Amino acid sequence: MSTTYKSNNNIVYSCKYHVVWCPKYRRKVLTNGVDVRLKELLLEYAANLSVDILEIEIMPDHVHILMEVDPQFGIHKAVKSFKGYTSRIIRNEFPFLKTKIPTLWTNSYFVSTVGGAAPEVIKQYIENQKTSQRQKDKLG
């Protein structure tokens, strides 16, 4: 597989990250339309940042994203921007969240570079999250 490189005025890069973050207290609040709206907002807002979302899956209690980020913008700034932007809008559009949790997101997140793994493998993993969760729910 060949690597596709991106560039800006100063650098040529290929920086892909698998990122996961959770709602406060890992509450299962990303359901009943919140998940659909969250996905729309993330995809929409990515266009305003130096970020390409390659894959995304919203689970009831966490978010998986495979993204490519301009290293001059930075992964930390990208994640913080996504979380801040989506929290503001989601909490306004779904007021019940304000009574369930004090803030939408935890301060923490998981990030892993995917330089060693083919992006297709990570995409497949993220796509399979919903299926494997449904199977677990049926069993237990």
Tokens in use for 132?
Answer: 């494997």
User: Which of these is catalytic: 17, 25, 45, 125?
Assistant: 125
For residue 1, the model assigns a pLDDT of: 42
pLDDT tens-digit readout, 98-118: 998 999 999 999 999 987 666
Tell me the CATH number for domain 10-139: 3.30.70.1290
Q: Any residues with CB less than 8 A from the CB of 84 and at least 6 apart, and which? A: none
Smallest CA-to-CA distance from 13 within 52, 57, 43 is with: 52
13 included as an active-site residue = no
pLDDT tens-digit readout, 6-32: 888 889 888 999 999 999 999 999 999
* Spatial contact of 35 and 58, defined as CB atoms under 8 Å apart: yes
Q: How does DSSP assign 48-86, residue by residue?
A: TTTEEEEEEEEETTEEEEEEEE-TTT-HHHHHHHHHHHH
